[in-house]
């Protein structure tokens, strides 16, 4: 906006003042004064430009043209940008949280799979150890060889009677795990350990499914995966399906097999062992064989033994491919009707193309794509570590079933004591189950974000409307003043910056009114004086014009200087606010550092407690190691006792033999003595069997003690490593506390520097106030010069030529002043 009339008034004041200065000062002095003033103004202008150049923030504002945008738009944009930034940060935080939960779920699920796999592996190793003990038994193998060579059924039954007690004893040892022990000689004679008899089976043993698979494989030891039992006595032990371990039986003096041992596992034992296994986040797990066959499905045992390919597809009615192929009906076959393994069986049913197209992948069920990825991961791990026999992993690639992403983990058991097994435990968990809570929170936060945006926009519109309306009112009043109407009223009830601006605006209008009034008075005086000094005005006209030009330059210099002072005052105020914000921020940082230091000290105390607990565990392990050594020594003593018993048994056999010979010599008189000798021989045989059994058990106990001792040693090494880690952690906490002390000292020092800056800012404000007061004094001096003009009128009455100009100026001044309405 412009103030044309006011500028005209200043010109008149300057010209009138120049006339007074001409009569009071010489021309030379005026020129020197003018030169000095010009130099001072140039220096001040250069200093002002330097200040602006140093203010980089102002440069950025000018280059970005932010000052060209309306205040309302700036505030609205600020609200929108702030909300968007918060939304981005929140979204990133939720994404990070979701990924963290998925990673934790992967690790926990893999740990559970490894724990379950190790549990299964231990059970199978115990079964393998038992089978190995039976096949290497010094009584069973020779007796079985005698059955192979026996020509009469009586002799075979006699030797079978010797073997059966041993099998019963071995079977009773793992009665919870093993449903039956079946020992067959090379000529097909079968002895059972446990309940049942083979006499009612209407086929040769080597025509059974398990025996045929074992013979065809040519292996010395073989695991037969889940299959339908074709021996009726096995079906009374936990279901129609079973898992078998087949081992060849050898004599200690020959490398030729004398028979086959079949160990059948109870399927219900697997059910009991795995019923408490729950995959996190409602996941599912399966045990799969090397032929893509289902070993065990905890969710549905009727899937056991079937191919995954037939189980992973269902039609629109929910029927699996196996049901459509009628393979599930094979589970109801009688034992005599079973001809081959379940996953090899062919029902002869073929599905048409329409039925195949109607099939889709089964929800939350393992499929061939998952098996392929698992096998690929197993091969990669096996390539890196060829010695590994059991290991687990996580499928990092995306696995999608019917549009749902799945998390897949696995644990594979390649072999049991050298016998190939190739069982793989696979778990699948829908990712949506893991991130469901996060997604619910995200949806709720999005809803809150939308509400906040709406409220923010409403507040933004309200605030910008309030600011714009206040500034608009001031603009309207300024337009009235520009048109000459000084009779304006401004609302001074507001307490914000716009209210302060209004108060200053009112003060400015009042000062302007006073100025116009004074000018009117001066104008009247000038008109009267021009009539009396017209005769002498022309002589001093030239001097008056020179001094008038000088005053014009002074006026032109003072006005920008006044504006610069006001701008600098605003800059200083903004700097004051920024310094205060910095001081508050440093206080907050200081508080956070203090809190972090306390947390570090608390963490150190916790680690010390952990170290003390580790020391106690280490002492306990040492005591446990001593107890194991004592148990090992006692076991050795018992072994000596069994050796003694075996020696006594052998001597008793010899005595019984001698007694029999003597009884035979005695004839009829020695018959009773012969009966006693026979009983003594039986007791000696039983003592020998018991001693052998005890010796076998002691060997197993010795192996278990050795494994326990190795585990205790490993635990001691782990605890030692743990102690070193705890000590290192304590040292790290000490370093953290020291670092926090340094940070706290640095922040304290910076805070002191900022306080010095604040004191300097206060001094700058005081200097600006003094500079502002000096400017006001200059303005008052100009007004005083105007007043002094009246006193010097008598001195210039003789300047006639100047009186005419003064008269013209008075007329112009009168016209200019009349524009304003006071």
Per-residue pLDDT, 375? 94
Per-residue pLDDT, 12? 46
**Where does the pLDDT of residue 394 fall: very low under 50, low under 70, confident under 90, or very high at 90 and above?**
very high
Distance of CA 743 to the CA centre of its chain: 29
Residue bearing the bigger pLDDT, 366 or 10: 366
Per-residue pLDDT, 415? 93
Q: Tell me the per-residue pLDDT of 706-728, one tens digit each, with 9 for 90 and over.
A: 777 777 777 767 777 767 776 77
Contact between residue 267 and residue 238 where contact means Cβ atoms under 8 Å apart: yes
Domain count, the chain: 1
In angstroms, rounded to a whole number, what is the distance separating the alpha carbons of residues 431 and 229? 39
Pairing of strands 257-265, 241-250: antiparallel
Q: Tell me the per-residue pLDDT of 126-180, one tens digit each, with 9 for 90 and over.
A: 999 999 999 988 899 999 999 999 988 889 889 988 999 999 889 888 888 888 8
Per-residue pLDDT, 29? 46
- Residue 329 is given by DSSP the state G
Contact between residue 210 and residue 181 where contact means Cβ atoms under 8 Å apart: no
**Helices 267-274 and 71-135, axial angle in degrees (round to 10):** 150
Q: Mean pLDDT, the chain, as a whole number?
A: 77
**Where does the pLDDT of residue 111 fall: very low under 50, low under 70, confident under 90, or very high at 90 and above?**
very high
Lowest mean pLDDT among 205-214, 554-563, 583-592: 554-563
In-domain check, residue 243: yes
**Where does the pLDDT of residue 438 fall: very low under 50, low under 70, confident under 90, or very high at 90 and above?**
confident
> Which of 186, 187, 146, 149 lies closest to 163 in space, CA to CA?
146
Express as a percent the part of the chain with pLDDT over 90. 18
Express as a percent the part of the chain with pLDDT over 70. 72
Per-residue pLDDT, 371? 94
Range of the domain at 177: 135-265
Q: Tell me the per-residue pLDDT of 273-301, one tens digit each, with 9 for 90 and over.
A: 888 888 888 899 999 999 999 999 988 88
Residue 4 has pLDDT above 50, yes or no: no
The pair of structure tokens assigned to 253 is: 């003096």
* Contacts by 2-6, CB closer than 8 A, 24 or more apart: 2/482, 3/481, 3/482, 5/484, 5/816, 5/817, 5/819, 5/820, 6/512
pTM attached to this predicted model: 0.53
**Where does the pLDDT of residue 30 fall: very low under 50, low under 70, confident under 90, or very high at 90 and above?**
very low
In-domain check, residue 142: yes
Contact between residue 593 and residue 736 where contact means Cβ atoms under 8 Å apart: no
In-domain check, residue 630: no
In angstroms, rounded to a whole number, what is the distance separating the alpha carbons of residues 551 and 12? 10
In-domain check, residue 618: no
Q: Report, as an integer, the average pLDDT of 625-641.
A: 75
Residue bearing the bigger pLDDT, 252 or 368: 368
* Tokens 């604040």 sit on residue: 758
Q: Tell me the per-residue pLDDT of 565-576, one tens digit each, with 9 for 90 and over.
A: 677 667 667 766
Residue 688 has pLDDT above 90, yes or no: no
Q: Tell me the per-residue pLDDT of 491-514, one tens digit each, with 9 for 90 and over.
A: 667 777 777 777 787 778 778 777
Residue bearing the bigger pLDDT, 699 or 288: 288
Per-residue pLDDT, 215? 92
Per-residue pLDDT, 20? 47
The dihedral of CA 660, 666, 671, 672: what is its sign?
negative
Read off the CATH number of the domain in which 233 is found: 3.30.450.20
Q: Which residues contact 772 (CB under 8 A, 6 or more apart)?
A: 565, 569
In-domain check, residue 616: no
Q: Which of 73-77, 302-306, 497-501, 800-804 reaches the highest mean pLDDT?
A: 302-306
In-domain check, residue 661: no
Contact between residue 16 and residue 526 where contact means Cβ atoms under 8 Å apart: yes
In-domain check, residue 235: yes
DSSP β-bridge partners for residue 405: 400
- Residue 266 is given by DSSP the state P
Residue 444 has pLDDT above 50, yes or no: yes
Instruction: Give the three-state DSSP class for 705.
Output: helix
Contact between residue 215 and residue 286 where contact means Cβ atoms under 8 Å apart: no
> Within 200-299, where are the H helices?
209-217, 267-274
Per-residue pLDDT, 63? 65
Residue 119 has pLDDT above 90, yes or no: yes
In-domain check, residue 627: no
Residue 297: Cβ within 10 Å count: 21
Pairing of strands 190-193, 221-228: unpaired
Contact between residue 16 and residue 809 where contact means Cβ atoms under 8 Å apart: yes
Q: Report, as an integer, the average pLDDT of 460-478.
A: 75
Phi then psi dihedrals of residue 185, to 5 deg = -80, 170
Q: Report, as an integer, the average pLDDT of 233-252.
A: 78
- Residue 403 is given by DSSP the state T
**CB-neighbour burial class of residue 285 (10 A; exposed 0-12, middle 13-18, buried 19+):** buried
Per-residue pLDDT, 288? 95
């Amino acid at each position: 906006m412009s103030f044309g009339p006011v500028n005209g008034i200043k010109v008149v004041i300057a010209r009138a003042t120049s006339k007074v200065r001409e009569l009071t000062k010489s021309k030379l002095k005026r020129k020197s004064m003018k030169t000095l003033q010009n130099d001072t103004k140039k220096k001040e202008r250069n200093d002002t430009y330097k200040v602006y150049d140093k203010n980089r923030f102002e440069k950025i504002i000018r280059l970005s043209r932010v000052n060209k945008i309306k205040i309302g738009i700036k505030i609205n944009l600020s609200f929108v940008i702030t909300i968007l930034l918060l939304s981005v940060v929140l979204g990133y935080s939720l994404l990070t949280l979701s990924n963290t939960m998925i990673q934790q779920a992967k690790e926990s699920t893999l740990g559970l799979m490894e724990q379950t796999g190790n549990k299964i592996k231990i059970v199978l190793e115990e079964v393998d150890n038992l089978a190995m003990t039976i096949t290497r038994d010094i009584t069973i193998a020779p007796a079985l060889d005698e059955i192979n060579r026996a020509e009469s059924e009586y002799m075979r039954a006699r030797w079978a009677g010797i073997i059966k007690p041993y099998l019963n004893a071995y079977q009773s040892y793992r009665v919870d795990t093993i449903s039956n022990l079946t020992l067959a000689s090379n000529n097909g004679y079968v002895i059972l350990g446990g309940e049942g008899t083979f006499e009612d089976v209407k086929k040769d043993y080597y025509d059974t499914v398990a025996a045929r698979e074992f013979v065809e494989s040519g292996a010395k030891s073989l695991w037969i995966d889940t299959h339908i039992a074709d021996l009726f006595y096995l079906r009374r032990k936990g279901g129609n399906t079973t898992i078998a371990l087949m081992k060849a039986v050898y004599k200690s003096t020959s490398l030729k097999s004398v028979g086959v041992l079949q160990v059948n596992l109870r399927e219900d034992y697997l059910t009991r062992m795995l019923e408490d296994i729950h995959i996190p986040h409602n996941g599912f797990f399966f045990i799969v064989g090397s032929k893509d066959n289902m070993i065990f499905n905890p969710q549905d045992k009727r899937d056991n033994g079937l191919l995954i390919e037939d189980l992973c597809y269902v039609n629109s009615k929910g029927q699996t491919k196996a049901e459509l192929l009628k393979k599930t009906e094979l589970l109801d076959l009688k034992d005599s009707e079973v001809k081959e393994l379940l996953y090899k069986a062919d029902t002869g049913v073929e599905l048409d193309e329409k039925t195949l197209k109607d099939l889709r992948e089964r929800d939350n069920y393992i499929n061939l794509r998952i098996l392929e990825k698992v096998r690929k991961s197993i091969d990669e791990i096996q390539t890196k570590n060829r010695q590994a026999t059991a290991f687990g992993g996580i499928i990092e690639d995306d696995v999608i079933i019917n549009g749902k992403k799945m998390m897949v983990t696995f644990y594979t058991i390649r072999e049991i004591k050298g016998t190939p097994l190739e069982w793989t435990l696979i778990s699948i968990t829908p990712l949506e189950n893991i991130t469901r809570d996060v997604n619910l929170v995200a949806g709720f936060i999005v809803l809150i974000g939308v509400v906040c945006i709406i409220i923010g926009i409403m507040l933004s519109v309200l605030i910008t409307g309030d600011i714009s309306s206040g500034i608009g009112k001031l603009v309207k009043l300024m337009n009235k003043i520009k048109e000459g109407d000084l009779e304006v009223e401004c609302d001074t009830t507001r307490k914000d910056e716009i209210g302060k601006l209004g108060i200053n605006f009112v003060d400015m209008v009042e000062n302007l009114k006073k100025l116009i009034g004074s000018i009117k008075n001066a104008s009247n005086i000038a008109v009267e004086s021009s009539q009396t000094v017209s005769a002498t005005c022309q002589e001093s006209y030239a001097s008056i014009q020179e001094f008038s030009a000088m005053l014009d330059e002074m006026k032109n210099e003072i006005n920008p200087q006044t504006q610069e002072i006001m701008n600098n005052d605003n800059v200083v105020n903004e700097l004051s606010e920024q310094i205060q914000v910095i001081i508050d921020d440093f206080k907050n940082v200081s508080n956070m550092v203090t809190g972090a230091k306390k947390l570090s000290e608390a963490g150190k105390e916790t680690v010390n407690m952990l170290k003390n607990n580790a020391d106690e565990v280490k002492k306990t392990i040492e005591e446990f190691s001593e107890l194991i050594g004592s148990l090992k020594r006692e076991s050795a003593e018992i072994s000596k006792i069994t050796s003694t018993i075996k020696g006594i048994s052998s001597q008793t056999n010899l005595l019984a033999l001698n007694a029999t010979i003597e009884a035979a010599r005695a004839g009829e008189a020695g018959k009773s003595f012969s009966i006693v000798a026979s009983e003594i021989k039986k007791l000696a045989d039983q003592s020998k069997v018991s001693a052998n059994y005890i010796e076998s058990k002691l060997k197993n106990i010795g192996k278990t003690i050795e494994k326990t001792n190795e585990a205790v040693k490993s635990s001691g090494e782990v605890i030692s490593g743990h102690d070193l880690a705890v000590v290192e952690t304590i040292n790290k906490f000490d370093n953290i506390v020291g670092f926090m002390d340094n940070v706290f000292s640095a922040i304290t020092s910076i805070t002191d520097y900022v306080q010095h800056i604040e004191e300097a800012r206060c001094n700058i404000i005081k200097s600006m106030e003094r500079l502002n007061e000096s400017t006001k004094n200059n303005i008052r001096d100009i007004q005083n010069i105007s007043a002094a003009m009246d006193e010097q009128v008598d001195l210039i009455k003789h300047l006639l030529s100047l009186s005419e100009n003064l008269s013209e100026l008075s007329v112009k001044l009168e016209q200019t002043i009349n524009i304003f309405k006071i």
